[in-house]
Amino acid sequence: MAPAWLSVPRALSLERAPTSCFRPEQPAGRVVPAVLRRPGTVVVVSVAATRRRRPVVAAAAAATTAPAASGEERGKPSFVEEMRAVAMRLHSRDQSMHGEKEVPLEPPVATWDPTVEGFLRFLVDNKLVFETLEAIVGRAAIPWYAEFRNTGLERSEALEKDLEWFRQQGHTIPEPSTAGIAYASFLEELSEKEPPAFTTHFYNLYFGHSAGGVIIGKKIAEKINLQKELEFYQWEGNLSQLQQNVRDKLNQVASGWSREGRDRCLDEMEKSFIRSVDLRRHMFT
pTM of the model: 0.73
Q: For residue 90, what pLDDT is reported? A: 84
Mean pLDDT of 34-41: 42
What are the domain boundaries of the chain?
79-283
Q: At what angle do helices 178-193 and 269-280 cross, to 10 degrees?
A: 160
pLDDT band for position 80 (cuts 50, 70, 90): very high
Contacts 24+ apart (CB under 8 A), 32-38: 32/72, 33/61, 33/70, 33/72, 33/73, 34/58, 35/68, 35/69, 35/73
pLDDT band for position 13 (cuts 50, 70, 90): very low
Count the Cβ atoms, other than its own, within 10 Å of residue 137. 21
Q: CA gyration radius for the chain?
A: 20
How far from 79 is each of 12, 70, 109, 279, CA to CA, in Å? 29, 11, 30, 27
Ordered strands of the 57-62 beta sheet = 29-38, 41-50, 57-62
Highest CATH level, class, for 79-283:
mainly alpha
Mean pLDDT of the chain: 79
Least confident of 59-63, 135-139, 234-238: 59-63
Q: What does the DSSP 8-state code read for residue 56? A: P
Q: What does the DSSP 8-state code read for residue 60? A: E
End-to-end CA distance of the chain, in Å? Answer: 19
Q: Say if CB 46 and CB 61 are below 8 A apart.
A: yes
Q: Say if CB 251 and CB 66 are below 8 A apart.
A: no
Least confident of 52-61, 184-193, 259-268: 52-61
Ramachandran angles phi, psi of 239, nearest 5°: -60, -40
Q: Say if CB 29 and CB 48 are below 8 A apart.
A: yes
Mean pLDDT of 142-158: 97
Q: Say if CB 132 and CB 146 are below 8 A apart.
A: no
Q: Say if CB 191 and CB 86 are below 8 A apart.
A: no
